[in-house]
Structure 1
Amino acid sequence: MAKLRRSLIALAMVLALASVASLSAAEQSKPSQDKVAVVNGSAITRADFDRELMYAQERLSGTGMQLNTAQLTQLKKNVLEQLIERELLYQESQKKGIKVDQGAINEQWRTLKNRFPSEEDFSNTLKKMNLSEKAVKSQFKRNMAVQEFIGKEFAEKITVSDKEIKAYYDSNPAVFKQPEQVRASHILISVDPKGGPSRKAEALKKITNIRQKLQKGEDFSALARKFSQCPSSAQGGDLGYFTRGQMVKPFEEAAFALKSGEVSNIVETRFGYHLIKVTDKKPESIISYKDVKDRLGQYLKEKKVQKEASLYVQKVKEKAKIERFLVEEK
């Protein structure tokens, strides 16, 4: 489960980076169907648009939202306008003479690669998305230029007072509620849904034997390292802290019903059979103002920066020459 989650996060990062901005100005002789817009002479290609749209749809599907035809049409329009605005911000950064250090670009590339389980996984993901190292690094460069521009033009000039921070904290108590948390370890014997009854019976037998070892006093962490088929086995089965809604329902219900130090009976989920040990519990609480002040101040500053940048780009947009070629399919 953890490996899958890391891969999805890494993939989402690639998708986001792939959609930062168009790679280069397309030749004006190319037909309009190869591009969805031209901003002051620089093209936003259909490929850029499709990647950004795919990322937006991935985010929405992750929330369980299914788009109807009208919502999809609106999403496409929103995506196009976001790409146009990013292109305008990049153009503004270049007018200000902002340069990006190649070493910083290379470091971002290494960081991205390290988010994948292996070099092969990383290469395969780029191939599936029709992206090259040169293309991704080009987009890193554009993104970093825009970030530096926003920093110099807005972030460095905007402040948030202690009074503003405290007022927000006092006016939004629900935001600072920390839900009940459980820290748990587990031992998983996975079950292939296509394996049939015999494979399921075999997995149940294995987890039953492990449970018997626990009942005889053997160490949970050691057994998890030896037998668990989850990547968390490397940490003795430790999954860290989690709240309700983060795990599949049967797992969640069993974990939150246990007291600290207790081990569950065998729990079945779509992943297979689990034995769960709760190692700590934290009741619902309110995060103190002292603990959240610095992060809250940064959040409020970012909101101000976003607002100022949005107002700025709208003014630039009004003066820009923008041609849109996106046609809704019938």
Structure 2
Amino acid sequence: MSSLSLHRLRVIVPGLLVAALACSCKGEQGERAAGAEQAEAAESSSDPSAPAQAEAEPEPKEVATPEALPSELPPLPEVLATVGGREIPRREFEIRYRPTAEKLLARRGDGRIPGAFEAMQRRKIIDGLIWSVLLELEAERSGVDVSPEDLAAFEAEERLHILDWPAWLARINQSEEIRRGKDVDYLRERALLEARVGALSPSEDQLRAAYEAQRDELVVSEPVIRASHLLFTYGPRVGDEKIQPLLPEQREAASEGEKARWQALALSRAKALRAKALEPGVDFNALAEEWSEGPGAFRGGDMGLFPKARMVPEYAEVAFALEPGEISEPVGSLKGFYVIKSFGRYEPGPLPFEAVRADLVRQLEREIYDAGHEALRKELEARFEVASPALDQARALEAK
């Protein structure tokens, strides 16, 4: 599924989102457990004269309190903000702040968190929490929300481009729950924006107007091409699954035999996907988005416009030798094997519209979204009263 298709969101009753997600997590195991509970209940109630057994009270468990983090700032209040009558407790900030702060402490080694850093984190996190509640309140008020199907599809697509999901979450200091909340916020905002302004993608007329406005700047002094690629990295493989690029120390620790096997596996995978790319009607960028193991997979392997000198020689020589529309044989490199497709070659001088159309789409989508976000934020802050001395304080501290 393309990312644009995920933006055509359904309108549902807001409360159904959480309930449906909870139901969808049960699956076969949950149904079996429910059936077992019903059978047990029926068996225990078969003798109406049987005395009820008192349930033993569980012994209280000690919950470890996280060690307090060092701080150079005044302590935060228990309630960080009130949004439309809903309170945001301090613990919501602490859950999000602690992983980042602990990493900073480990990196610094002096047991100190600079006040400027904490002030910035307070401002960003509290502001994000307020925005999340505003979106939730507006979804409840308007009935415009995200369906469980759209959320599941978005999460599946998001994970498609991240080979080691738990490691990625740890790197960005997020739990599964926090990440899902951010995804819901993103999709809710898009749904609310589309309900107000329609499509968030630019029209052809808007693209043409943007091109004309920037025409004098869209000039190159040397030949450039636009190309996309599939990348298949070196490492142990199981079937057709994508793999995570190896760390330098992992490559160094591997034997020559292992390296040779990994190279052969990557080459075999590159040949198989090249054959797929050559089939009639296959969208190369969609194929790269699904199967490429490079960091640019999320944008369909599109490398944009580039001169020959910007790429490593083995890549550039092949890419610049291709005719527009031609797909290369696998190209070996230190990273793995590339399969490259040329989408156009342009000589020095003004660039034609088709050369920069994809870049203009991304530029205008960002501008449309940013303008819509600003207008929506003002609208919701006017509709739902927001009070947050903690956010005001964080902004003042950050400005010092």
Q: TM-score, normalised by structure 2?
A: 0.43
Q: TM-score, normalised by structure 1?
A: 0.49
In our comparison, the structure showing a higher alpha carbon Rg is 2
